[in-house]
Amino acid sequence: MTSQRTEVTSGTAPTSRCLRALVWNRRDSPGSEYFELRESTDGWMLAGSVVLAEGGLPYAVDYTVLCDRQWLTHEARILLKRGDVEQSLTLRVDAQRRWWRGGDELPQFRGCSDVDLSFTPSTNTLPIRRLSLEVGQGSDVTAVWVRMPDLSLEPLPQRYTRLTSTRYRYESRGGSFVAEVETDELGLVLNYPPGWERVAFTKR
């Protein structure tokens, strides 16, 4: 895959250092991702290159998510490719937690803290780090859900409950989907059944 990450990140991210690079494999269908968590003076950047097969069709997705020091999403940029077909999406969030696509506000997402990209486990890290739950605590959030394959947007009610120092119960849509997610010390996913597992990583 020829990465489009330069186009996705151009002009958006301050100088940063990589805290961890890793590879996830998708277990329930063909797919993998190369991912980096980066830190700057302004906050955090999640950047990934994903290859997926959906409905028998190949997809390549490059994305970046920029967050402040409190792990609040400020910007998400996505470039999706399928052969000669390209789709892009840029979301920005202002100081009043209003979400914008281009010059258009998306009022149904006003007040949301997180973006949730359906094609990667990386964005689970955002509420995990932002909420800083104690073991036994849980919290409800509503994320801006970016869906495959059309990059459509929906509000997605979710609940995170910290079960142990490294394991969380994730629930969405009122409990219609439930998974136990294992994470590392940075809050990055190790295992997210039935979908993703980490197979390689760099140490700090």
Annotated domain spans of the chain:
5-201
pLDDT of 173: 82
pLDDT at 7: 47
Within a 10 A sphere around the Cβ of 71, how many other Cβ atoms? 19
- Cα separation of 122 and 174, whole Å? 22
pLDDT, greater one: 104 or 203: 104
> Which residue, chain included where needed, has tokens 């997705």?
61
State how far the Cα of 125 lies from the Cα of 201, in Å rounded to an integer: 16
Band of pLDDT at residue 13, cut at 50, 70 and 90? low
User: Which two tokens mark 153?
Assistant: 């947007």
Please, what is the average pLDDT of the chain?
A: 93
Band of residue 55 on the pLDDT scale cut at 50, 70, 90: confident
Q: What are phi and psi of 109, to 5 degrees?
A: -110, 5
Residues 6+ apart with CB under 8 A from 48: 33, 34, 35, 36, 61, 62, 63, 120, 122
Confidence of residue 150 (pLDDT cuts 50, 70, 90): very high
Residues forming beta bridges with residue 115, ordered by sequence position: 144
Whole-angstrom Cα distance, residue 79 to residue 7? 9
**Dihedral over alpha carbons 159, 165, 166, 170 (to 10 degrees):** -10
Q: What are the backbone dihedrals phi and psi of residue 194, each rounded to the nearest 5 degrees, phi first?
A: -90, 10
